[in-house]
Structure 1
């Protein structure tokens, strides 16, 4: 993901994914700014999200957990999810892809918001469950690219069909796995 992000450094509107989005880049000035907000914040969101699950919550780990958690929540709620929703409105692949990306961005924002509310109320287990959901949606950036390689290699579909399929495969299985994990964590 870092390599993909670095394609857009320095600022360039005619590189990688933006090459196929030139209509949006030229006719919707806000698109490029929201795209860059999404790309530049999402790489940090992934980093802070991973830290949430690998740093122990005792001693100094508690400080790191809180700091990275605040950054994770702020970046998603203020930048990454809203810009993702906007980009979803202009997604390639027609209505199926647009619906998927808008739903993904909305669920990502909502799950992160609920996780934040739960921790503020001291509901640690519910906070954990909602953060698992949020991070599962966050990981769609990674799984979408994984599925793209698999689908292209195995099925040789036209590019637009691949995009419509991976738009959903990027996050729906992640959320199902998250729900299975949550169920197993909470079993009596």
Structure 2
């Protein structure tokens, strides 16, 4: 599946904006002053010092995963199999380590129990798609690997989609509905897009095969 310079550049543009948002919201003045974290601190059982040990790696690993994805789709990367393989391993390790962070973070998710369940569902999809993508690569089933690792990256991209979708939802809905709904919409929209791309790519491959007489 090939992507042009504009889509790759657009993805990196969004990733940069995402990083700026994270820095401004959580790191510039400290997480304790972020509105989302202030809400959590109202719970007497919430420990912000413990939460930080999971949140900071979660953000760092998520950013690494996001940043690797678009580069894996570039022509430069496709022409360097060893680089592609190395970055693929870094991506998988970053995702699997992050998956370990989510269960604890979900316990204090904004929006209550519904949000906690939604983030655990997201975590399941992340584990499922990435694991199959890695297995297919190990089996050298490259076509299947590409399809599944793109599904994995679609789940990774929920990092971004969630923060876009939550804005209008929070205006009209209570956070107990807005937050879990934003997670499910992020999963659904991202996977639908990837399935559309996968199907389109298969159609183009079939057309080329017919033209070549295969």
The TM-score, its normalising length taken from structure 1, stands at 0.83
SS at match of 1:53: coil
Partner of 1:136: 154
Superposed CA deviations along residues 100-147 of structure 1, whole A, max 9, x for unmatched, are 110111211221121111111111011101111100000101111111
Q: Is 2:106 aligned against 1:88?
A: yes
Ranges in structure 2 where 5+ consecutive residues have no aligned partner: 1-17, 207-214
What is the CA RMSD across the aligned residues, in angstroms? 2.5
User: Higher RCO, 1 or 2 (CA under 8 Å, sep at least 6)?
Assistant: 2
Larger radius of gyration: 2
State how many pairs are aligned: 184
Q: Distance in 1 between matches of 2:29 and 2:169?
A: 31
Q: Is 2:206 aligned against 1:186?
A: no
CA shift for structure 1 position 70 = 1.5
Partner of 1:4: 21
Moved more, 126-135 or 169-178: 169-178
Matches within 5 A, 1:41-120: 41-59=61-79, 61-78=80-97, 80-120=98-138
CA shift for structure 1 position 9 = 3.6
Q: Structure 1's 9 and 93: CA in aligned 2 closer, same or farther, altered over 3 A?
A: closer
Q: Is the 2:72–2:78 contact (alpha carbons within 8 Å) kept by the matching residues of 1?
A: no
CA shift for structure 1 position 13 = 3.9
